[in-house]
Structure 1
Amino acid sequence: MKRSFYLFNPGIMERKDNTLKYTPVKIDDDGTEHPQPPRYIPVEDVAEMYVFGSLRANSALYNFLGQKDIPVHFFDYYENYTGSFMPRDGLLSGRALLAQAKVYQNKKKRTLLAAKFIQGAAWNMVMNLNYYHRRGKDLGSTIDGIKALAKTLSSAADVEEVMGIEGNIRKLYYDAFDVILDDYKMGARTKQPPQNEVNALISFGNMMCYTETLRAIHQTQLNPTISFLHTPGERRYSLCLDISEIFKPIIVDRVIFKVLNKHALGPQHFDRKLNSCLLNQKGKLIYVKAMEDRYNETFRHRSLGRNVSYKHLIKLECYKLLKDILGIEEYKPFKMYW
Structure 2
Amino acid sequence: MRRTLYLFRSGRLRRKENTLAVETEEQRRYFPVENVRDIFVFGEVDLNKEVLEFLCDNEILVHFFSYYGHYVGSFYPREHYNSGYMVLKQAEHYIDPTKRLNLARKFAEGALENILQVLRYYHHRGKDLSEYIAAIERFLKSALPSCQTIEELMAVEGNARSYYYESFNVILEDSPFQIEGRSKKPPTDPLNALISFGNTLVYVKVLSEIYKTHLDPRIGYLHATNFRRFTLNLDVAEVFKPILADRVLFTLVGKRMLSPGDFDRCGSAVFLSERGRRTLVEEFERKLQSTFHHRRLKRNVSYQTILRLELYKLEKHLIGEEEYTPFVSRW
The answer to whether TM tops 0.5 is yes
Q: TM-score, normalised by structure 2?
A: 0.96
Conserved 8 A contact 2:178-2:191: yes
SS in structure 2 at match of 1:231 = coil
Distance in 2 between residues matched to 1:44 and 1:176, nearest whole Å: 42
In structure 2, what residue type is equivalent to 1:162? L
The answer on 1:41 being equivalent to 2:31 is yes
User: Within 2, Cα distance between the matches of 1:250 and 1:72?
Assistant: 25
Contact 1:112–1:154 (Cα < 8 Å) also in 2: no
Matched, 1:252 2:245: yes
2:100 to 110, 113, 134: 110
Deviation digits for residues 91-128 of structure 1, max 9, x if unmatched? 12111110110000011111111111111110110111
Alignment-derived partner of residue 171 in structure 2: 180
CA distance in structure 1 between the partners assigned to 2:37 and 2:311 by the alignment: 18
Partner Cα separation in structure 2 for residue 37 and residue 127 of structure 1:
44
* Gap runs ≥5 in structure 2: none
Give the deviation of 1:235 after TM superposition: 4.1
1:329 to 300, 303, 322: 322
**In structure 2, distance between residues paired with 1:191 and 1:154:** 28
Q: Corresponding residue for 1:120? A: 110
- Counterpart pick for 1:101 among 84, 91, 110: 91
- Partner SS, residue 263 of structure 1: coil
Amino acid at match of 2:247: R
8 Å CA contact 1:231–1:238 kept in 2: the answer is yes
Query: Partner residue of 2:230?
Result: 237
Measure, in 1, the Cα distance between the counterparts of 2:213 and 2:20. 27
Q: Distance in 2 between matches of 1:192 and 1:171?
A: 16
Q: Which residue of 1 aligns with 2:155?
A: 164
Counterpart contact for 1:252–1:291, Cα < 8 Å: yes
Q: What secondary structure sits across from 1:230 in the alignment?
A: coil
SS of the residue 2:241 aligns to:
helix
User: How far has the Cα of 1:37 moved from its partner?
Assistant: 3.3
Q: Report the Cα distance in structure 2 between the residues aligned to 1:56 and 1:45, rounded to whole angstroms.
A: 21
Q: Distance in 2 between matches of 1:17 and 1:139?
A: 55
* Equivalent pairs, count: 328
Which of 267, 283, 292 is the equivalent residue of 1:290?
A: 283
* Residue 60 (1) aligns with residue 50 (2): yes
| Equivalent residues of 2:187, 2:196 under 8 A apart | yes
Are the counterparts in 2 of residues 255 and 294 from structure 1 also a CA contact under 8 Å?
A: yes
Say yes or no: does 1:154 pair with 2:145: yes
1:182-261 alignment to 2 at 5 Å?
A: 182-183=174-175, 184-261=177-254
Match of 1:266 in 2: 259
1:70-109 superposed matches below 5 A = 70-109=60-99
Per-residue CA distance 1:291-328 (angstroms, 9 max, x = gap): 00000010111111111100110111111111111111
- Structure 2 equivalent of residue 9 of structure 1: 9
Partners of 1:217 and 1:44 lie apart in 2 by 19
**How far is the alpha carbon of 1:52 from its aligned partner?**
0.8
